[in-house]
Amino acid sequence: MRDRLFNERQKKAEKIRNLGINPFSTAKFEKTFSAKTAKNLPAKNLEEIQNSEKNPVKIAGRLVLFRAMGRLAFGQLLDGAEKIQICFQKNHFKVENLSENSEISPMKFVEKLVDLGDFLGVAGDIFETKHGEKTLFIRHLKFLSKSLRPLPEKFHGLENREKCYRERNLDLISNAETFSRFEKRSQMIAEMRNFFHEKKFLEIETPILQSVASGAMAKPFLTHHNALDHDFVLRIALEIDLKKAVGGGFERVFEIGKCFRNEGSDPSHLQEFTMCEWYAAFEDLETNKKWTEELLKKIAKKVFGKSIFEVFDKNENPVKIDFEKKFESVKFADLLEKYAGINMFEISDADLKKVAKKLEIDEIENRGRGNLLDDIYKKTARPHLINPTFVTDWPSDLKPLAAPNGDGTSRVFQLLVAGWEIVNSYGELIDPIVQRELFEAQAAAKNAGDDEAMEIDESFLAAMEHGFPPMTGSGFGVDRIAALLSGQKNLRDVVLFPTMKPENSAKKKEKTKIATILLNDDAKLENWQKINTAAHLSAEFAAKNQNPKNLFLAEKIETKDAKKIPLNIKHAIVIKTAPKNADLKKVFADAKAKNLEIAVFSREMLETTDDKIVAKKSAEKDFSEIEFLGILIFGEKKTVDEITKNFPLFSG
């Protein structure tokens, strides 16, 4: 059906072209009114309009309704989210570039060649029908663009949510509420910018590609920079570089930008999301609270025009919240005592794990103490925080970039609304000695299996060691605020084009790969040296393929009693021997020609662990003089086997 309609519309486009009219115009059409403003114009006498040569009202938009009634035809033109009725009368309008001697009249042009979904530029004047509807009487028509695919059936709008996400352009056309929602999101971001500009903040931009995942506790997306030959991550937060900018002298900075976290997706979490972060030197957390409350109340009033909202909590239940009231404030520890019955300062690690297990929290053994406290808080206390509430004084090991209070907590608040975390704010840590200690604790947790823990960021530490002023900062989840205030249950409903798995994408069948090591028999290596060569080649191969998906079926396997064991490499490693150095050089050339991955271990690498000495010694020789002790090639098994088929297996 789609192909038939597509072909029919293509033929119409060709007929329009043959009439001397471009069916996909690049010419300017100067609008004098929008559909909304035109409907507010005073109506004129229809007979007066019919006999006039003036066309003061010029509108452009998409035709979404059309019905012919003999000498008259009525339609609706969609301009943004607003529709206006239009009227064609036979012999009272012209089609631009349609010859008066044409085989087709203007009315037949509209009836036979114009389809729903086409873009038209129309000019005329406003009258009122007998039913009291403001209508544009058309005296001039300019055809702007042919729609080759039909609009959604009967134009009642898209109802399937996934289809709305995948074809947001049709969702915007079909659903006025969707269009309005994204207008509100844009206005909300504009109000954020206005707020910060009024308070003398400078808007800056920071890199998305970063060498270290820092600024939050989250699992990053990994990528490789070919030109720099270095692995990078997509940023998980905006924080680090913004604070460096404050250290450089910009006292107040903010940024609105994309962040990425390679974690689970649910209605309140997306892997790609928009953050607004700001930092102010010489201000404290109390000022931060005041500004946060001021900003959100301003958005509620100016963008949405109200202070009381019906929103959905984390369980998708409708609840009412009031932005007019003073925001409440409560300590994290007090919430745990009230709702979980535990004293976070006194409970042992063993008892904490028992509580977590009772609450059916996953992966207890690999979770740090702070993360377990957070998990318990989320299960017990957070659902009760409906009206805007500042939750303060979080465990220090959860907030390694915040200033510690000295009792195991940090100067931090999160703003919770209907159980949603929408703001995270710090009294920023500026002591580089304490910061290094906290980073080292995070690194230890990461090595112990906590893949959300932070790495040590030496660049940030160096900047802090040069000196940071006292400062406070905040991170706003833009998507969450937009979803909350527009009454949406899912963050995808406020992201114009959310990330989706391609529709009907077939999973590629992965070809079997293999890593083969060739040892140089002619090098006269002792057994320990042969083992050392194979080990170095394996380590080099693994280091170059840090993405777990390339090397492992899964990063860990789990025993019956929930113990995690790192998983062995999913690719077989075969060790063979070659008679001479020249054989390894030929395999090197063949593997390079077939774009296989290659690792090499030379005599210089065996003699020293200093890479600078290896580089210096190698630079003093031609390639023909380099003695390969071993080579590893990795790729599709069929190709690797073909290159190495004449070499016997290593027998020890």
What is the per-residue pLDDT across 80-108, written as a single tens digit (0 to 9) for each? 889 999 999 999 999 999 998 888 999 99
CATH number, domain with residue 206: 3.30.930.10
What is the chain's mean pLDDT, rounded? 89
Domain shared by 135 and 184, yes or no: no
Q: Which tens digit of pLDDT belongs to each residue from 597-629? A: 898 898 888 887 777 888 888 888 888 888 999
Domain shared by 256 and 147, yes or no: no
Residue 537 belongs to a domain: yes
Looking at the structure of the chain, the number of domains it has is 3
Domain shared by 233 and 354, yes or no: yes
Tell me which residue of 275, 240, 270 sits closest to 255, measured CA to CA: 275
Residue 208, amino acid = I
Domain shared by 73 and 217, yes or no: no
Q: How far apart are CA 612 and CA 619, in angstroms?
A: 10
463: phi then psi, degrees, rounded to nearest 5:
-65, -40
Least confident of 345-359, 393-407, 412-426: 393-407
Q: Which tens digit of pLDDT belongs to each residue from 624-652? A: 888 999 999 998 988 999 999 999 998 87
Tell me which residue of 591, 595, 593 sits closest to 631, measured CA to CA: 591
The confidence score (pLDDT) of residue 155 equals 42
Domain shared by 631 and 527, yes or no: yes
Residues 215, 399, 368, 373, CA torsion sign: negative
Residue 406 belongs to a domain: yes
Domain shared by 590 and 449, yes or no: no
Question: Which domain covers residue 256, as residue numbers?
Answer: 176-494
Residue 507 belongs to a domain: no
The confidence score (pLDDT) of residue 154 equals 47
Give yes or no for residue 552 having a pLDDT over 70. Answer: no
Q: How many other CB atoms are found less than 10 A from the CB of residue 460?
A: 22
Distances (CA, A) of 636 to 292, 404, 643: 55, 52, 11
| pTM higher than 0.75 | no
* H or E element that contains 471: strand 471-477
CATH number, domain with residue 89: 2.40.50.140
Q: How far apart are CA 8 and CA 3, in angstroms?
A: 9
Residue 373 belongs to a domain: yes
